[in-house]
Structure 1
Amino acid sequence: MAEVVTKGTGKVERTADRAEVQVNFETVGTTRNEAVELLTGRVASIEPALGRPGVEVRSRQLTVHDNWDGQQRAGSRAAQQYVLRVDDLTQLDDLLAALVAAEPTWLNGPSWQLADDADAIREAQREAVADNRRRAEGYAEALGGRLGSLLRLSDGDGETWAAEASAGRAMAAYGGSVGDAPRMDELNLEAQQIVVTVRCTATWVLLS
């Protein structure tokens, strides 16, 4: 029995409805306790902003260590890194403004996501199967035959489906004074398009 094997791709775009932001604060003190006390005061101003509806703290990671100059201890450093998820994008500009005003060591984001990608994946799967069939029918016609029934269908061709920002933007760490903090509405941080890609491989009967 003759067979034809094709690989199809389906791509679907959706507008992101979730964002992730990573931010880090660091302080230096003569002792570990002093560094931690300074850090506590530094992050206290942003904690109210993190409790807003639609904003979730996915993780808080504290790091405290000594600094060394050769063999000599040269004070201590404390750092706290946050991973924030924003499900209500109307809160994003105000959240970023509050973070920037607190003068973080670095801030990265937003990275754009879909809160629920199930529908987009299913649509991309349908497109991938349709693409497979179109390719198979083209080969069957080129060989002077007809396309028969589907024998096998496998997900992917060594790659899994991927969701990626087609034109994502990142906000660099801001190190100016509070009075120089940029206006968030001037940074063009609207939600970007997410491309969901599905690939599949199909084996068809080739009829003469």
Structure 2
Amino acid sequence: MTNEAPRTYPTPEVPHVGVRGEATLEVEPELARIAVTVSARGTDRRGTLDDLGGRNAQVLELVKGYGEAVDKLETGAFVITPELRERRRGERIRAYHGSVRIGATLTDFTALGELTTRLADLDLTRVDGPWWSLRPDSPAYRAARQLAVRDAVQRAREYAEALGARLLALVELADEGMQQTLPYQGRPAMRAVAFAGAPGAAEDMAQALDMEPEQQSVYAQVTAHFTMTAPDLSA
């Protein structure tokens, strides 16, 4: 035995109307993620590891220096591989290559340009990004869902009015899912600005990049079924 309400079925006296509600919002991003790859190379394994560890610590200290502007900092892949040199009597190790990948997510886009420039100015350091996004609990998702529901109600009402009827009650509302459409990840819009105000910055540092955040598209879709009064089909 269940407590579910009995399913209603359409009748000529109480017909149903089913519609789809949709909404798309264009909003500013809330997060910017960059990936930093630190490299080291040397003829000695231990020396290469020590060099890589020092460069890694330098990057982590630099990023942490931006305090609350950094939402997340995490270390990804660590790799150290030997470079072999072929000889007639066997293979010999010519050098060692090491790298560490670090991910940083920022919420302050003003600090983003400074940090990216300072990281790119370090030796044997590669910076990729930024990739823009919203927080998982962003209010933009809720706003899009509510707009999609309102769109469904409005569409159903218009269909009913076209038949000389009016809506009575909601029978079913189904969420078809949310989607964040990522924009084309091309080069960010940027221009050179004076580099100043960064913690511990040297006077001869490179100019910071002024990055323009990419708008994020949030799409929501629902399906809804309503009962309505008997239509006037005499017209």
TM-score, length-normalised on structure 1? 0.76
Equivalent position of 1:51 in the other structure? 64
2:18 is aligned with 1:5: yes
Q: Kindly indicate whether the alpha-carbon contact (under 8 Å) linking 1:15 and 1:191 is maintained by their aligned counterparts in 2.
A: yes
**Offset of 1:132 from its aligned partner?**
0.9
Q: Secondary structure at the match of 2:111?
A: helix
Could you say which structure has the higher helix fraction?
A: 1
Equivalent position of 1:178 in the other structure? none
Q: Which structure 2 residue ranges, 5 or more long, are not aligned?
A: 1-9, 189-204, 231-235
Q: Which structure 1 residue ranges, 5 or more long, are not aligned?
A: 172-180
* Residues 56, 148 of structure 1: alpha-carbon distance in 2 compared, 3 angstrom cutoff: closer
2:174 is aligned with 1:154: yes
1:179-194 correspondence to structure 2 within 5 Å: 183-185=207-209, 188-194=210-216
CA RMSD of aligned residues (A): 2.9
Equivalent position amino acid for 1:76 in 2: Y
Equivalent position of 1:65 in the other structure? 81
Equivalent position of 2:180 in the other structure? 163
Q: Kindly indicate whether the alpha-carbon contact (under 8 Å) linking 2:116 and 2:127 is maintained by their aligned counterparts in 1.
A: no
CA displacement 1:103-143 (0-9 Å, x = unmatched): 45532211223347442222211210111122222333444
Equivalent position of 1:204 in the other structure? 226
Equivalent position of 1:124 in the other structure? 144
Q: Which of structures 1 and 2 has the bigger CA Rg?
A: 2
Taking the aligned partners of 1:163 and 1:133, their CA distance within structure 2 comes to 23
* Residues 118, 56 of structure 1: alpha-carbon distance in 2 compared, 3 angstrom cutoff: closer
* Residues 125, 166 of structure 1: alpha-carbon distance in 2 compared, 3 angstrom cutoff: same
Give the counterpart of 1:23 among 36, 41, 57.
Answer: 36
Q: Give % identity.
A: 25
Taking the aligned partners of 2:42 and 2:48, their CA distance within structure 1 comes to 4
**Offset of 1:165 from its aligned partner?**
4.6
**Offset of 1:101 from its aligned partner?**
0.2
**Offset of 1:74 from its aligned partner?**
5.1
**Offset of 1:189 from its aligned partner?**
1.0
**Offset of 1:21 from its aligned partner?**
0.8
More displaced stretch, 54-63 vs 120-129: 54-63
**Offset of 1:47 from its aligned partner?**
3.2
TM-score, length-normalised on structure 2? 0.68
Q: Secondary structure at the match of 2:211?
A: coil
